[in-house]
With several copies, the nearest count.
Chain A
Amino acid sequence: MSINIKLEVFEGPFELLFHLIEKDKIDIYDIPIAKITAQYINYIKMMQSLDIDLASEFLVMAATLLEIKSKMLLPKTSKEDEVQEEDPREDLVKKLLEYKAYKDISAILKQKLMENEKALCKDSSLADEIIDSFALPDRLSIEILMDKFKELMNKKQSHKDLENNRIYRDNITVEDKMVEVLKALSLEKTVYFDDLIMECINKLEAIITFLAILELIKQRRIYVEQTNNFDKIIVRRR
């Protein structure tokens, strides 16, 4: 007998909390924290028992909920204190409301996108063609070319950093590079070793690329060949 479990996947802890709040039609300004905490932790336990990777953010939220719960259990010392003391739930509620505002607006924006993305424009290649047909001046400044190249390489660098989930100062890892090399090989059966190196932004990245290729060869996930001495080295996927 098979059991069907319908499990909703939540992007983050706020989304999960909102699901729990909406499910029980709870007043967001007066969240029964003990009940919600229990439900939240149950959900996390279920995910863990199913071996689903949980983002650390979910655990941070569980800790936050427990902290609020314990604060609310503390006896109030006097009536005056009660007036001054702020509700331990206040911060959480504020954050939940802010998140909800953006979640709601994203639904409205989605609607707008669905309507307007059907309006297509024309690419600008015709203008490029006309501009390129103009005569070149007698003398051009080399700085234009250098600036353009720098701009391109910087743009590429920052995109790469984001794709790899790294802060821009952090160094690229061999593991990152292995994934990149495999990705390149998933698009084309072979790539040139030279191309992999030439695309690197700096020496460090080139060295890491080299290490990643060695590691992939060791793991027998790629192989490398060279027909003759001094020929271009070809990297192939297995």
Chain B
Amino acid sequence: MDIKKIKAAIECMLFVSGDPVSLKDLSAALAIDQSTLKKIINQLIDDYKDITRGIKIVEINNSYQLCSKTELYEFVEKLLKPKAKIGLSQASLETLSIIAYKQPVTKSVIDSIRGVKSDACIARLLEKDMIKEVGRMDGPGRPILYGTTNTFLRLFGLKNINELPPIKDLF
């Protein structure tokens, strides 16, 4: 295979994967031995240093991942800031609203209402101290129950959780 096409294929695979991809997996997909492939990836890493490129390849433990260039972060911030005046992504806001109204609630209920996995959002809301674990449900697996924190109450100007505005037709 032409080296140019190999480079394109590597970029394509790393882009779609999002996560780090091991040299081994790349080598298998391309049917090229690992040492040759490694040389090509190193060339590609150099190609990305070009000033017109906004992304780069980072190597972590013999795996590769596409990342945005740190020196361009200001533009990312300018793009995303107006979308996130409240400092929460749409996904996290959705997750937080379910936890606020249905607490104590398990991750599986949140997932089922949102229709997608909420693991990452829950992790980030925990980190921001907006939610906390409030206990575990009895029964198999003993899943964690989540509820809101005092930080949450303070930020939303509530004295306690009963002050959440009621939602008609819901209970």
A–B touch (CB < 8 A): the answer is: yes
Indicate the member of B86, B94, B106, B158 with the most A CB atoms within 10 Å: B94
Q: Are A198 and B18 in contact (CB under 8 A)?
A: no
Q: Are B67 and A158 in contact (CB under 8 A)?
A: no
Q: A119-B67, A124-B18 are in contact. Are A203 and B171 (CB under 8 A)?
A: yes
Q: Are A198 and B109 in contact (CB under 8 A)?
A: yes
A-B interface contact total, Cβ < 8 Å: 254
Q: Are B128 and A202 in contact (CB under 8 A)?
A: no
A 99-118 binary contact with B (CB < 8 Å = 1; else 0): 10111111011101101111
Chief secondary structure at chain A's binding surface: helix
Contacts of A118 in B (CB 8 A): 68, 70, 73
Q: Are B113 and A136 in contact (CB under 8 A)?
A: no
Residue B96 lies at the interface, judged by CB distance under 8 Å to chain A: yes
Q: Are B93 and A129 in contact (CB under 8 A)?
A: no
Q: Are B157 and A102 in contact (CB under 8 A)?
A: no
Q: A13-B116, A136-B86, A139-B155 are in contact. Are A106 and B139 (CB under 8 A)?
A: no
Q: A121-B67, A165-B119 are in contact. Are A131 and B88 (CB under 8 A)?
A: yes
- B84 in complex: contacting residue of A134, A141, A148, CB < 8 Å: A134
Distance of A227 Cα from B142 Cα, bound (Å): 14
Q: Are A129 and B120 in contact (CB under 8 A)?
A: yes
Q: How many residues of A contact B (CB 8 A)?
A: 83
A 39-73 binary contact with B (CB < 8 Å = 1; else 0): 00000000000000001010001000000000000
Residue A20 lies at the interface, judged by CB distance under 8 Å to chain B: no
- B117 in complex: contacting residue of A55, A135, A138, A199, CB < 8 Å: A55
B 139-156 binary contact with A (CB < 8 Å = 1; else 0): 111001000000000111
Q: Are B156 and A109 in contact (CB under 8 A)?
A: yes
Nearest CB to that of A12 among chain B residues?
B116
Nearest CB to that of A114 among chain B residues?
B85
Residue B50 lies at the interface, judged by CB distance under 8 Å to chain A: no
Residue B9 lies at the interface, judged by CB distance under 8 Å to chain A: no
Which A135-179 residues have a C-beta within 8 angstroms of B? 135-146, 148-150, 152-153, 156, 158-159, 162-163, 165, 167-169
Q: A105-B165, A116-B156, A140-B86 are in contact. Are A195 and B109 (CB under 8 A)?
A: yes
Q: Are B19 and A124 in contact (CB under 8 A)?
A: yes
Stretch of B26-34, B36-44, B97-105 that contacts chain A = B97-105
Q: List 26 A-B contacts (CB under 8 A).
A: A12-B115, A12-B116, A13-B116, A57-B115, A61-B115, A95-B115, A104-B168, A105-B97, A106-B97, A109-B96, A109-B100, A109-B165, A112-B156, A119-B67, A119-B69, A119-B154, A120-B67, A121-B18, A121-B65, A128-B120, A130-B77, A135-B87, A146-B165, A162-B122, A192-B139, A195-B109
19 additional A-B residue pairs with CB within 8 Å, beyond A13-B115, A124-B17, A131-B92? A94-B170, A95-B113, A101-B170, A106-B94, A109-B100, A116-B155, A118-B70, A118-B73, A126-B68, A127-B80, A127-B89, A128-B92, A132-B88, A132-B121, A139-B156, A140-B157, A142-B156, A156-B113, A195-B112
Chain B positions near chain A (C-beta within 8 angstroms): 15-19, 56, 58, 65-70, 73, 76-77, 80-81, 83-94, 96-98, 100-102, 105-106, 108-109, 112-117, 119-124, 126-128, 133, 137-141, 144, 154-158, 164-165, 167-171
